[in-house]
């Protein structure tokens, strides 16, 4: 099977607010949008948001409540944090060098989705 894309669809009544957050703070652009759905992309990453008022909801259209996070892997988490801060926002979890080999910071989008911006780093021996 050859995939063209892959992305989560977060079902939330505030999908337009999520769209604005991802565009302003994470640099995603709208690829497709209508009254109840928006698909966004940024350099190899995609995400979509859908209203629970979808006119023909697919199986599993429950409103997102928790239990999921999205990883955005970058080559330089320090530079990514500087770009994020330039949008007027501070991370919800500060830039941290984790003992398991990631440098990361995290934010929570308006739907409650945790977004980890991560850089793979060498674990000191």
DSSP per-residue codes, 33-94? E-SSEEEEEETTEEEEEE-TT-SSPPS--PPP-SS-EEEEE-S-HHHHHHHHHTTT---SEE
Determine the pLDDT at residue 99.
87
Asked if the model's pLDDT at residue 48 lies above 90, the reply is yes
What is the sign of the dihedral through the CA atoms of 84, 15, 40 and 115? positive
pLDDT tens per residue across span 80-107: 999 999 999 999 999 999 888 899 999 9
pLDDT > 90: percent of the chain:
64
Any idea what the Cα angle at residue 117 is, between residues 101 and 114, rounded to 5°? 110
When the pLDDT of each residue in the chain is averaged and rounded to a whole number, the result is 90
Domain 9-54+62-120: top CATH class: alpha beta
In this prediction, residue 57 has a pLDDT band, given cuts at 50, 70 and 90, of low
**Cβ atoms within 10 A of the Cβ of 53, count?**
12
Cβ contact 100:123 at 8 Å: yes
Q: What is the pLDDT of residue 19?
A: 97
CA distance 31 to 46: 9
> What pLDDT is recorded for position 105?
97
Task: Give residue limits of the domains in the chain.
Answer: 9-54+62-120
């Amino acid at each position: 099977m050859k995939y063209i894309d892959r992305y989560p669809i977060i079902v939330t009544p505030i999908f337009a607010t999520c769209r604005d957050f991802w565009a302003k703070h994470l640099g995603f652009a709208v690829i497709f949008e209508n009254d109840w759905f928006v698909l966004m992309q940024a350099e190899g990453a995609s995400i979509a948001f859908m209203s629970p008022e979808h006119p023909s909801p697919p199986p599993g259209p429950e409103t997102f409540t928790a239990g999921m996070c999205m990883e955005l892997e970058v080559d330089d988490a320090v530079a990514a944090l500087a770009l994020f801060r330039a949008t007027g926002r501070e991370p919800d979890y500060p830039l941290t060098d984790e003992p398991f080999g990631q440098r990361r910071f995290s934010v929570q989008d308006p739907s409650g989705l945790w977004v980890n911006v991560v850089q793979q780093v060498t674990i000191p021996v």
